[in-house]
Amino acid sequence: MNALSGVLAFGNMATLDRTDLDILEMLSADPRTTVVAMAEKLRLSRNTIQARMARLDQTGVFLPYERAFSPAVLGYPLQAFVSIGVRQTELPRIIAELARVPEVVQAHGLSGSIDLLALVACRDARHLFDTDARILSIDGVERTETSLAMGEVIPFRVGGLMGLARREAGGTA
């Protein structure tokens, strides 16, 4: 047991206890798990499960459901990572303009020689070329480097982190 006595706190995020981690684990295993099924398995009332899920949602634990959709099913099977170097003084405006490029499905700010890393989804190589050109044409973008995603080798996952969080909160893995 650590100093948190069975509770794991994440900065300004939610404080997760064992029951919260149990709920997240059930949803991770089956995102369509019903409140009734969780209540039965965890031996809690439906109202308790609903209240906890509402708190988890309000505190930013759940990511947007949009992340569960594949761009490929929408007709954009080609994915690439675009490394972007920018004039730092113009970063907020550049990010706002980058957000208006529909092919940019995600972007991260980085430390080091690259300022931003954008994940883009395109129909084909020509569409990727045009998308890269639009990004490069944003005033303040100084350079880009594009790398094709050949395939996802480790899908997005948090199961291992939930096990770590459970151990750090004093529970069993």
Residues 25-47 pLDDT 10s: 999 889 899 999 999 999 999 99
pTM confidence score:
0.77
Domains of the chain: 7-65 (1.10.10.10), 71-148 (3.30.70.920)
Beta bridge partners of 9: 15
Cβ atoms of residues 47 and 55 within 8 Å = no
Q: What end-to-end distance do the CA atoms of the chain give, in Å?
A: 13
Predicted local distance difference test score (pLDDT) of residue 14: 55
Q: Render pLDDT for 106-157 as a digit per residue (tens, 0 to 9).
A: 999 999 999 999 999 999 999 999 999 999 999 999 999 999 999 999 988 8
105 in helix, strand or coil?
strand
How far, rounded to the nearest angstrom, does the alpha carbon of residue 9 sit from its chain's CA centroid? 19
